[in-house]
A and B are shown apart, each in its own frame.
Chain A
């Protein structure tokens, strides 16, 4: 106590927190993940630079499926709902998440959007993130897998320049490969080598939304990933039940 007036001396108290500053986001992401699992919907966080071909990949996906699978999409952009409108025209029920100045989607933005989109009927929900190779990588949205669209026109060293994004990728879809004949300086092997230095388990599909190359392989990857996650969930239930 203060001896002069008795007002009480302050104590400096150390508080050990030792918690991630993303813990709040991660809790919301887990909540989203539980919703997806309960409905049997596989959510894919689709990331990549602006113009890397994320929307075109989804359009090509819908065209190839031709209504055989139900899809849904959330599309994040700083402004406009142009991507969501394109996806809706391709037959994918879509909603735009307009982030204003925010450079990434977070779990809360996705959670709020889930109340506005009839995603429960879909088999696959694509969350098309804001075009950006930096910020989206660190925010868990509750997805089953991270997919990065990397176009062959972006430069061979992008994986080395943005290692956090590519380290988090479960799959890289190398887009616009139909342009390779016009890009004499670009060697696809160099891009794949850069990916092998940033992804512990590099998985790459070469694709073109224009020619349709790689789209079947992409669909098989989605099928396989969903089968694996369903198997893991089933074995988890057995353990939990036993």
Chain B
């Protein structure tokens, strides 16, 4: 259940951004979670609800944007179809994951007092 550790990192980051801007309430968070990131979005969501209960994120919407796995060839730049062998069909080189391992905090919407 490393999802709890991920939520702790998320809270630390959001609290730092909020403090820097004097924000008191967070309305919405948007994350990108890749299919090969090793993070289970259902577990992440329940960890988020448990952990953020008494934090600045309490009640804030958590939007999770899934990112599909993509493999490419680092040598010739070819995209490999998903589900294929992890070798480039053109040059035979080993494939590299080009998308799908994201655990990214994309955007925070927070309430900043008008001064």
Contacts and interface: CB of A to CB of B under 8 A. Distances in A.
Given A10-B113, A12-B110, A134-B38, A17 B2 contact: no
Contacts of B115: 8
Q: Describe A's contact surface by its main secondary structure.
A: mixed
A8 B108 contact: no
Nearest to A163: B36
A20 B17 contact: no
B57 interface: no
A199 interface: yes
Contacts of A139: 2
B53 interface: no
Contact of A17 (B12, B17, B113): B17
Contacts of A13: 21, 23, 109-112
B46 interface: no
A162 to B, nearest CB: 9
B25 A10 contact: yes
Interface in A1-31: 1, 8-22, 24-25
A138 B95 CA distance: 19
A134 B38 CA distance: 7
Interface string A198-213: 1111000000000000
A19 B104 contact: yes
B39 interface: yes
Nearest to A136: B2
A47 to B, nearest CB: 12
Interface in B22-56: 23-25, 27, 31, 36-39
Interface in B63-93: 85-87
B1 interface: yes
A219 interface: no
Given A15-B21, A164-B36, A167-B97, A22 B109 contact: no
A13 B94 CA distance: 44
A176 interface: no
Interface of B: 1-2, 5-6, 9-10, 12-13, 17, 21, 23-25, 27, 31, 36-39, 85-87, 94-97, 102-115
Interface of A: 1, 8-22, 24-25, 102-104, 106, 134-135, 137-139, 163-165, 167, 196-201
